[in-house]
Amino acid sequence: MQTIQSVDYLAVAPPLMLALTAVGVLVADAFLPARRSPWIGGAALTGVLLALAADLVLAVGVLPQDRPRGTFCVGASCSYSVDRFTLLFQAVLLVAGTVVLLLANGEVRRAGLPAGEFHFLLLTALAGALTIAAGRDLVILVVGLEVVSLPVFALVALRRYDGRSAEAGLTMFLVSVTSTAVMLFGVSLVYGATGSMLLDTISAALRRPGTPHTVAATGVVLVLVGFGFKVSAVPFHFWAPDTYQGAPIAVAAFLSVVSKAAGFAGLVLVLTVGFGSYAGVWGPLVAVLAAASMTVGNLVALRQRAAIRLLAWSSIAQAGYMLAPLGAAAGLVGEPRVLGVLAAATVGYVAIYAVMNLGVFAVLSFVGWIDGLGGGRLDDYRGMARSHPALALALAFCLACLAGLPPGLAGLFAKIVVFRGVLTGGYGWLAVLMAVNTVLGLAYYLAWASRLFAPGPSESTAAFGPVPRHVAIAVGLAVAGTALMSVLPQLVLGVAPTLGG
């Protein structure tokens, strides 16, 4: 009797490499003298690039045949599977990780953060995020979410001399632990009703008439609530602004891009691959979450004067757009192909949002802390176009993308795909609400972008000093990614998880 599962090491290579690099970095930091700590950042970056290389190797094997590469399988169902969806998410997460590491390079030194611990925690969280994208099993997804969340609490609270940083960490910890408890209760109900943790087996069980459907539906709703906290959808959003404001800027970027993308990867997988036949239960709820998130997020963002808080509320609003296509799924039960189209709209939006938001955060981290505010106030950006023309242009381009306005075509394509998804589901009211919200969004994104070119006390922006090389590379990466998706949006649009039957 063979009870050992064989492990496909190439399939698990990207998260494995990150995890091993994380441990290596921690040990190296414990033994290296303090003056060598710049090496740590380099080592962490090498780990991320190695993982990216492993992802490319995987892509060469998986993409041409379009057959998922699974491991940890029981029969035909696998707990861990690498398909187009996984590869896209892992690539986006790794690029985001690279940019965050580049941003952290300066901040770790300036803010006096402990280098070894910072990079260890960041790499661990990134490894967890990659695992979520590949998980096809409720246990892997929940454990992955925790591996993302636990290090982030510590990262948020890492500016130890600042009370707000500790408060931010504690807020996030309490909210996240509560949401995990709710989600685990939901998972246990689903497991009790279906007798399986594997998403495709759950999907099959949910379609059988003998399943206790009330119990399963309660479980599905609780799991959805848990994910609502993780992706900071209204009404589970209240932790986000304070946490972003208290955290180091690079960590805020990580929260806003990597954590959110990982949460959405898990949400899409659970809802479409696992609970697809219950779209009638979760669809309307997701639609309400989407509508509330975009409206509340945009309305509150209008009143923000601090850059980081504006981004926090804008990321809540953007989460609303990402949820919208899934919210339109209620009428499409039993049409897996259309469900796939809706999932693909969400996935495309998340991928595009990730790169354009990174560009904004990269400029924020260059501006640094002004009067105890990461990234300063919007008025601090007045006249930046004259002192730092390239950075100001990059910021304006990314803001235009977030608003969905040309020349930011990537953002426009993302919005169009989401609109089409919502209309496919026949949710006219949601589409109208989205249109109104897009206009609201224009107001504050453009108000910020126009300040860059407004005349102002130029000596204040000149005080930001010359642009360090790592910031230039980070901004360049984010802008290049956004520009690439403006030209070739088909790279990220139309990618959905492999749905069974």
Partner 1 sequence: MDGYLGGYAVVGLVLVAGVLFVTVSFGANRLLRPDRPTAQKLLTYECGVDPVGGGWAQSYVRYYVFTFLYVVFAVDAVFLFPWATVFDAPGFGLATLVEMFVFLGFVAVGILYAWRKGVLSWV
Give residues in contact with partner 1 (CB under 8 A): 1-4, 23, 26-27, 30-31
Q: How far is the CB of 31 from partner 1 (least distance, A)?
A: 7
Residue 5 or 188 with smaller CB distance to partner 1: 5
What is the rounded CA–CA span in Å between residue 364 and residue 341? 35
- Considering beta carbons, is residue 33 or 466 the nearer one to partner 1? 33
Close Cβ partners of 159 (under 8 Å, ≥ 6 residues apart): 111, 113, 165, 246, 247, 248
Residue 198's DSSP bridge partners are 137
Q: What is the smallest separation between the CB atom of 23 and partner 1, expressed in angstroms?
A: 6
DSSP 318-331: HHHHHHHHHHTTGG
In angstroms, give the least distance from the CB of 18 to partner 1. 14
- Token readout for 476 is 């360049």
Q: Residue 30 or residue 60: which is nearer to partner 1 going by CB?
A: 30
AA letter at 342: L
Sequential DSSP letters for 95-109: HHHHHHHHHHHHHHH
Task: Closer to partner 1 by CB, 24 or 331: give it.
Answer: 24
Q: Report the 3 state secondary structure along 10-40.
A: CCCHHHHHHHHHHHHHHHHHHHCCHHHCHHH
The minimum distance between CB 169 and partner 1, in angstroms, equals 17
- Report in angstroms how near the CB of residue 159 gets to partner 1 at its nearest: 19
CB of 10 to partner 1, least distance (A): 18
Of residues 26 and 50, the one with the C-beta less far from partner 1:
26
Cβ 26 to partner 1 shortest distance, Å: 6
Q: What is the C-alpha to C-alpha distance for residues 256 and 403, in angstroms, rounded to an integer?
A: 16
Q: Which residues contact 391 (CB under 8 A, 6 or more apart)?
A: 363, 366, 384, 467, 475
Q: Which is nearer to partner 1, 23 or 436 (CB)?
A: 23
Token pair listed for 292: 């509330």
CB of 32 to partner 1, least distance (A): 10
Residue 9's φ and ψ, nearest 5 degrees, are: -70, -25
In this structure, the number of other CB atoms found within 10 A of the CB of residue 174 comes to 12
Nearer to partner 1, 5 or 450 (CB): 5
**Dist CA 311 CA 168 (whole Å):** 16
**Nearer CB in complex with partner 1: 146/335:** 146
Spatial separation of the C-alpha atoms in residues 29 and 22, rounded to whole Å: 11
